[in-house]
């Protein structure tokens, strides 16, 4: 694929006269033969020129031509509560295009930044090539709350090696992560805190892909677990059914009982409260957790004596200054869904358990909940693009060479006589600055591109692919 970009400038009022165009041959001859400046190029026939807005680059930003297909993914900024760094999102979809064109094991699936210059680390929790179901965790270096983040998913390379980098798909503060996918109790971090099962069974259709079912005095042990000391965050998706016969059912316990432990999270059924215990001191939630037969997300954070409990992403209780500044290091056996050696079992399902060595803030917790609870809204897929199809996306770099800001939401692009919308990262383009904007669904072979401002057509490019 080649590009020939030749710029000229012409201006007239944005009226029905927009249909006026120079021909490909006229423009090529003027530039290639005479090399006249943008300012003087058509001064003989156009009375008013505007060189305040210029196109400096046009590209398809295709990451790697060994990949035949891609889809644009829009990360919904309204569900991102603050700017976040190295944040891992869930991308969950059932896609017949993946079924038809990706490798059967999904290893050719790759996630790339919008400009096509950086591959993001990801971990596939599950891929089912029979229907194209994908549950993948993708670490985004910079997630913005004020504007949508755009990335691409590439696939369709039968010769591709595995594009995953699972251990790098999570920030360094995660101590342990258990997805429970494919009947596995493996830890997804490099710490290898793999679980030892006593009785729990695999459920293929849990909150996110696979999970664990507790039905009786069952549990999962994590031996020689990390000492969290001054900071921690624990997160889990829980589903509690109606068959429970226990009153004090455990979710996590680092120790033999609720009052003999380093820390413990449990649900007290009689008063319908979630309780967190640290250094054997017990405090209750502020609200009621009267939820059965539905999934909900619980998170608890500790920061040198301050504890916050979250219910479905929102703060439920704030216990500031109620504990000691450090977590004791008395016990090393962490039990999931029970206490050490059993006796207080969870009854229902647990899924996507994470423990961090830092105190995650409320924006991190809320955005984590949003991406897992609303995956179809958090990430939205555009139609499939093919390297050999007749429609592509173009990335267009425009520059404001004037002395006043320009409104980018008033711009349009003219392709071979068809007006298309252009999307830029900011509403205003300041003087002497550039913006990398995008236009989707352009027919390949376009050789006339004009950018239209409120004052008329500002710049003209020839594009050839």
Domains in the chain, start-ordered, CATH in brackets?
Answer: 7-61+391-461 (2.60.40), 69-170+378-385 (2.60.40), 174-357 (2.60.120.200)
Long-range contacts of 182-186 (CB under 8 A, 24+ apart): 182/126, 182/210, 183/210, 184/210, 185/220
In tens digits, the chain (465 residues) has pLDDT values of: 333 332 322 222 222 222 222 222 222 222 222 222 323 323 222 333 345 777 777 777 789 989 999 999 999 999 999 999 999 999 999 999 999 999 999 999 999 998 889 999 999 999 999 999 999 999 999 999 999 999 999 999 999 999 999 999 999 999 999 999 999 999 999 999 999 999 999 999 999 999 999 998 999 999 999 888 899 999 999 998 876 666 788 999 998 887 788 999 988 877 778 888 888 777 666 666 667 789 999 999 999 888 899 999 999 888 877 667 888 889 999 999 999 988 899 989 999 999 999 999 999 999 999 999 999 999 999 999 888 765 667 778 888 888 888 888 877 777 666 677 788 888 889 999 998 888 766 655 545 566 666 555 555 554 444
The predicted model scores a pTM of 0.79
71 in Cβ contact with 97 (< 8 Å): yes
In 280-359, beta strands by DSSP E: 281-284, 295-303, 306-311, 314-319, 334-336, 348-356
- Measured from the Cβ of residue 330, the count of other Cβ atoms closer than 10 Å reads 13
| Strand-pair partners of 88 | 139
Q: Which tokens go with 281?
A: 């001191």
């Amino acid at each position: 694929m080649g590009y020939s970009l030749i710029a000229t400038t012409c201006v007239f009022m944005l009226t029905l006269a927009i249909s006026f165009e120079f021909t490909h041959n006229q423009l090529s001859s003027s530039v290639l033969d005479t090399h006249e400046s943008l300012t003087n190029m058509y001064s003989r026939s156009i009375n008013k020129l505007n060189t305040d807005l210029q196109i400096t680059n046009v590209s398809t930003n295709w990451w790697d031509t060994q990949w035949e297909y891609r889809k644009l993914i829009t990360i919904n900024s309204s569900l991102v509560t603050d700017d976040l760094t190295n944040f891992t999102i869930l991308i969950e979809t059932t896609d017949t295009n993946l079924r038809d064109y990706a490798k059967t094991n999904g290893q050719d699936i790759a996630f790339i930044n919008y400009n096509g210059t950086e591959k993001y680390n990801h971990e596939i929790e599950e891929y089912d090539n029979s229907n194209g179901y994908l549950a993948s965790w993708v670490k985004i270096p910079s997630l913005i709350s004020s504007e949508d983040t755009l990335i691409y998913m590439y696939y369709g390379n039968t010769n591709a090696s595995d594009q995953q980098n699972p251990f790098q798909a999570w920030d360094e503060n995660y101590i342990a992560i258990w997805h429970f996918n494919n009947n596995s109790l493996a830890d997804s971090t490099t710490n290898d805190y793999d679980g030892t099962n006593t009785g729990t069974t695999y459920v293929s259709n849990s909150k996110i892909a696979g999970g664990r079912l507790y039905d009786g005095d069952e549990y999962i042990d994590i031996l020689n677990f990390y000492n969290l000391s001054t900071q921690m965050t624990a997160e889990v998706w829980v589903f509690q059914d109606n068959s429970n016969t226990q009153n004090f059912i455990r979710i996590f316990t680092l120790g033999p009982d609720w009052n003999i432990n380093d820390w413990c999270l449990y649900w007290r059924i009689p008063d319908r409260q979630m309780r967190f215990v640290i250094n054997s001191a017990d405090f209750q939630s502020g609200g009621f957790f009267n939820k059965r037969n539905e999934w909900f997300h619980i998170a608890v954070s500790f920061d040198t004596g301050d504890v916050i409990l979250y219910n479905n992403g929102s703060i439920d209780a704030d216990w500031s200054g109620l504990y000691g500044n450090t977590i004791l290091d008395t016990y090393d056996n962490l039990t999931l869904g029970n206490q050490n050696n059993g006796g207080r079992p969870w009854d229902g399902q647990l899924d996507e358990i994470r423990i961090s060595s830092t105190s995650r803030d409320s924006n991190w917790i809320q955005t984590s909940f949003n991406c897992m609870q609303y995956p179809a809204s958090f990430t939205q897929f555009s139609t499939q693009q093919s390297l050999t199809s007749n429609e592509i996306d173009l990335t267009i770099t425009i520059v404001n060479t004037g002395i006043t800001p320009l409104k980018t939401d008033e711009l349009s692009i003219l392709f071979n006589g068809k007006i298309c919308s252009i999307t830029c990262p900011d509403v205003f383009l300041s003087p002497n600055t550039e913006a990398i904007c995008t236009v989707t669904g352009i027919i390949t072979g376009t050789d006339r591109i004009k950018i239209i401002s409120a004052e008329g057509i500002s710049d003209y490019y020839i594009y050839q692919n």
